[in-house]
Amino acid sequence: KKVVDVGCGIGGSSRHIARKYPGSTAQGITLSPYQANRGNELAKEQGLEASASFQVADALDMPFTDNSFDLVWSLESGEHMPDKEQFVNELFRVAVPGGRIIIVTWCHRDLDPGESSLTKKELKLLKAINRAYYLPEWCSVDDYVKLLEKNGATDVRREDWSYIIAPFWKAVIRSSLNLRSVWGLLKSGFSTQRGAYAMLLMLRGFDKGLIKFGLLTCAVPEV
């Protein structure tokens, strides 16, 4: 089986898949040359260079032919995509008919019946997070479902994993509440400080039910 890891970071997911499923091959793409190089280094160190490889590429215009991968996997990268529809279209383009797509990403809550947008306070909070993390506009899990269905997806499933990820933010914040960490943060510069502040904003968003950590999966339609 062939897997593509869209927004692979340094390739942890790809190496895990290659290791767990012998005979499979995983290709990861990232915009970061450092991440791609480090991913390839780690694959070689772990004896996985024949089954896991990484390269610099744009997720909105992947350098792969149509119908290339049995599994198209994207973990915590969808939120970075400025064009969510093009992102999903590309996932479908490179997937083989009958293959599977899995997306795990940050989203905002689904709109309630009668709502046309999030509240002003919610939009303000997301805008502050976007400034700190350099993120584009958010969408909801329901928005992703509609994009999947627009591409003819079958067996669409979704899960809210917010309860799993929310404790992570609390643990990170707790771990930073010591003199050494605070002193290091004060010396780190404005960008790092702003990112640390954004963690508090993320936690607030989780607590208010605004921010969701969503899992979506579907089957690609057969020809």
Catalytic residue annotation: 76
Query: What are the C-alpha distances in Å from 100 to residues 3, 31, 40, 95, 222?
Result: 10, 23, 25, 7, 11
- Phi-psi map region of 2: left, alpha, beta (phi>0 left; psi -120 to 50 alpha): beta
Residues linked to residue 213 through DSSP beta bridges, in sequence order? 106
Q: Nearest Cα to 7, choosing from 57, 52, 51?
A: 57
Residues linked to residue 25 through DSSP beta bridges, in sequence order? 2
Contacts 24+ apart (CB under 8 A), 89-92: 89/151, 90/6, 90/59, 90/60, 90/61, 90/62, 91/6, 92/151, 92/152, 92/153, 92/220
Q: 203: Cβ–Cβ under 8 A, 6 or more apart, which residues?
A: 166, 169, 170, 173
Q: Rounded distance, CA 97 to CA 206, Å?
A: 36
